[in-house]
A = this chain, B = another copy of it.
Amino acid sequence: MEPKERREQILEHAAFLFGKNGYHATSITNIIESAGIARGTFYLYFKNKRAVFEELLDALVIQINSKIKTVEMDPGAPSPREQLVDNIVGVLELLTKNRALLSILLERAVGLDQRSAKKLADFYEKISHTIDGSIQLGQQMGLVRSCNTKMASLAAIGVLKEVLHDMLRTPEDNQRLREVAGEVLDIFSRGVLIDGVSLP
């Protein structure tokens, strides 16, 4: 088999098992048995278990970032609400299609080794900063009410995480993704917007 394919194959099996049983409960033995390869073959492609995990995590972060587009204010562009819903739908879609990775993303720092934990923390930190910035911008534009923007951005992330976590438990239903995204955005936007203003 071509090295690239084999790599991919190992990553897929590992992702599935990490997602299903968690990082610690997944042994190298599990991975190689699942992939149907010899023990040594695994180490031909990855230095160790952590390397696999980190690679999955990195790829996931990149994919997620690629789904998030900056909201455009051009006259011809869709409404901001539309664009935000699109962003949320994009992420939800990616992650529900990829439950294994989602599970990885939701696994908190505890349980991972230092480096992976740091990576995950950095990822959330960056998202949090972005949202925080948007909220502050909203305040300057007179759209967002006076509030602790740090707290508000945490709230936004928390809501999304919990919804995703719930999706992990319940059967997939892609039909409703747009609806869910809308609900989530509504709750959050009403939560921070000035009375009487609604997301255009």
Interchain Cβ contacts under 8 Å between A and B, 18 examples: A24-B24, A107-B108, A107-B111, A121-B169, A148-B179, A148-B180, A151-B183, A151-B187, A154-B159, A158-B165, A161-B161, A161-B162, A186-B191, A187-B191, A188-B191, A190-B191, A191-B191, A195-B195
Does A51 reach chain B (CB closer than 8 Å)? no
Expressed in whole angstroms, the Cα–Cα distance for A161 and B165 within the complex equals 12
* A28 interfacial contact with B, CB 8 Å: no
Q: How far is the CB of A67 from chain B (nearest CB, A)?
A: 20
Q: Are A151 and B180 in contact (CB under 8 A)?
A: yes
| Other contacts beyond A148-B179, A151-B187: 11, CB < 8 A | A24-B111, A103-B110, A147-B187, A148-B180, A152-B187, A154-B159, A154-B162, A154-B163, A157-B162, A186-B191, A190-B191
| Smallest Cβ-Cβ distance to A189: which chain B residue | B191
Question: Considering the chains assembled together, what is the distance between the CA atoms of A94 and B191 in angstroms?
Answer: 26
In the complex, what's the smallest C-beta–C-beta distance from A98 to chain B, in angstroms? 15
**Interface of A, helix, strand, loop or mixed by DSSP:** helix
Number of copies: 4
A interface residues (Cβ-Cβ under 8 A, vs B): 21-25, 103, 106-108, 110-111, 121, 147-148, 151-152, 154-155, 157-163, 165-166, 169, 179-180, 183-184, 186-192, 195-196
* Chain B residues within an 8 Å CB radius of A21: 110
- For residue A154, which residues in chain B have a CB less than 8 angstroms away from its CB? 159, 162-163, 166
Contacts of A158 in B (CB 8 A): 155, 158-163, 165
**Nearest B residue to A190, CB-CB:** B191
Residue of B nearest to A180 (CB): B151
The 3 closest A-B pairs by CB, nearest first: A158-B162, A191-B191, A187-B191
